[in-house]
Amino acid sequence: MITVRKSSERGEADHGWLKSRHSFSFADYHDPRHMGFGNLRVINEDRITPGSGFGTHGHRDMEIVSYVLSGELAHRDSIGTGAPGSATGVIRPGDVQRMSAGRGVQHSEFNHAPDQTTHFLQIWIEPNERGIAPSYEQKRFDDASKRGVLRLVASPDGRDGSVTLHADASISAALVDGAEAIERDLDAKRKTYVHVVRGSVDVNGLRLDAGDAVALTGESRLAVANGHQAEVLVFDLA
């Protein structure tokens, strides 16, 4: 079964400094038909105005992945990430950031640029174990590594240089344009979610634009083709 989630159908929030689109129920947006998919709980497409951001706040028992599309995002947390002298904490396009909230973490996210909006995806995945020690990881995946292929960027075992998720889930990213095409065999017992980050592309014969997504259940094949400056994230889920 393939279910299309159009960009225009997502929840929407405008806080002035933050404009957000919610693929699944989040904060003041609640839709019982869209509470998550498998163990994927949140995909928020956020735009943060220059000189603003999320003040210090807490999370627990959630795997949180940030994927920047433009601008940059400065992250600081209670386990030392982003502290003065730290080598990590600022993420830019091509970076994948994973924070395991575990038994509890405080953090902030800020756009320090004076004239550039930060555009990024915030992704929450339910962990396979609660109460673990909070932790942080970020890695860079350049465009060449994602061109015309599904590049693994997050996985339960950190294989192929991906960040490590404490969850039964994997995330792959791809850039697809022109004649480039990708096919992947799927385990029909698992769930697959494809989110179009930008551009337009065919997924299993369905034309999708930026912000659109498809949820696949019981499917054995994924085909991505006919992209026009497209970038996609593919989630393999419990």
CATH of the domain at 62: 2.60.120.10
What is the percent of the chain with per-residue pLDDT over 70, rounded to a whole number?
A: 99
Rounded average pLDDT over 159-164: 98
User: What is the per-residue pLDDT across 102-129, written as a single tens digit (0 to 9) for each?
Assistant: 999 999 999 999 999 999 999 999 999 9
Calculate the alpha carbon distances from 162 to 65, 135, 173 in Å.
12, 15, 11
**Rounded distance between C-alpha atoms, residue 117 and residue 18, angstroms:** 10
Strands 118-125 and 40-48: antiparallel
Give me the chain's average pLDDT, please. 96
Q: Tokens in use for 126?
A: 């339910």
Supply the DSSP string of 188-208, one letter for each residue. Answer: TTSEEEEEEEEEEEEETTEEE
What is the domain range of residue 227?
Answer: 2-237
Whole-number pLDDT of residue 207: 98
Number of domains in the chain: 1
Tell me the pTM.
0.96
Q: Distance (Å, rounded) from C-alpha 21 to C-alpha 123? A: 12
pLDDT tens track for 42-96: 999 999 999 999 999 999 999 999 999 999 999 999 998 887 767 678 999 999 9
